[in-house]
Every structure is written in C-alpha cells, then in structure tokens.
Amino acid sequence: MPRSRRGTPVAQSTARLLWGLVGANVLVYVAWQMAIRQGEESLWVGVMADHFLVSLEAMFAGRVWTLLTSAFSHIDPFHLFVNMLALWVFGRDVYRVTGSRGFLHLYVVGALLASIGHVAYSLLSGSPNPALGASGSVMAIAVVFAALYPRRILLVNFFIPVPAALAVAAYVVLDALGVFGGTTDNVAHAAHLGGAAYGLLYWLIVLRRKRLPRQRRG
C-alpha cells in the first residue's frame, strides 16, 4: 500500500473529517467482531450481513442502502488498516482542494459507484459473492490525488518510491486484469474500478477546470 513521502500539516477541519470517516469504519469493524464472537450462525451476524454487505441478492431483496453501508464495513483487520491508511495518505491533500462537502461527495458517490460496479459484475458473471470495504471510495480519492499530484512520490509497500500517477495507474490496471482476466483472488476488482472511474470523472468535470490557469482575454 502506498505511503506519501512528502507530508504536509493536517488542518484541524481536515483531521476531524478524516478521523470521523476512520472512526465510522472502525465502529462497523468492531460490530462485526462482536457479532462473529456470538457465532457465525447467530442473529447478530445475520443482521450485519443483511445491512453491511452489498450483493446482487441484497439488491433483489430491496436492501439498496447496502450500496453505501458496505463502504464502511470491514471484517479483516488488515483490510481495514490498509484502507484507512490509504484514506489518510490520499485524503489529506485531496481534502484541501475539494473542501469538506466535496470530499464527502467523493467518498459517498465513489462508494455507490463501486458497489454498483460490483453488483453489475455479479449480474454479468453470475458470481453471487458479496462485497464490503472502503476500497471503492479510496480508489476514487486516490485517482483524484494522482491527477492533482502526478509526480508526488509514494512509497509502495512502504519502501518502493513510485510517482503517484504511475502507482495509481498500476493499481487500476491490476483491477482491470482482475475483472477481465477472471481471477479468483477474492478481491472485488469491479468495485475498485467503479470507484476509480468516478474519481476520474470528478477530476475531469469538477476539479480540472478549477485547476487550469485562467487565460487572459485578448
């Protein structure tokens, strides 16, 4: 997972928002762990699965809120750690450009598009597997980060220096290979691509014009 070599002080409002998102993810993780301790067949596990996993079955059952709630849901601690670390690394600088409203929009809509991507892939491939995790939102934010700071050095796997644009593009390519290559690695690659696609759209439609220097009128 990439880590930014260059760091800038985190404004108090930025820290509050990022910690709030991290806290929400951690709370759902804790709820999962408490449920699992009751036994995999317990009512609590069933409730968590119904409300914090996104799947084609959930859509057919009308649980459309799982398109968003699944983006705050983690069962595996390493999955949670990686996503929250990436959210912090990419989110600090993206927030400074988007502001709080724009950042929340990016997280939420990135999550929705990621979940829709997973459900669409399930429908086309016939795979019933549910998905969970903030990876789609993180991918949306990561793509915006790479567009804003393409030459910023990231430490992939904590020690390999790679420009942000190249690192994020490599992750997108790996997800595309995961979708079209039919890999069975238990990763929701289609969800990642859905989030990444929205990040690119957000950059092109919302941010790019703001970042372009104003042209003098002749």
Q: Please give the positions annotated as active site.
A: 135, 192
CA dist 109 and 162 (Å) reads: 28
**Which residues, other chains included, contact 137 with Cβ-Cβ below 8 Å and sequence gap of 6+?**
71, 87, 106, 107, 108, 110, 111, 114, 195
CA dist 113 and 195 (Å) reads: 6
Identify residue 97 by its one-letter amino acid code: V
Residues 58, 66 contacting (CB under 8 angstroms): yes
CA dist 131 and 120 (Å) reads: 12
**Tokens found for residue 110:** 């990135």
CA dist 135 and 30 (Å) reads: 18
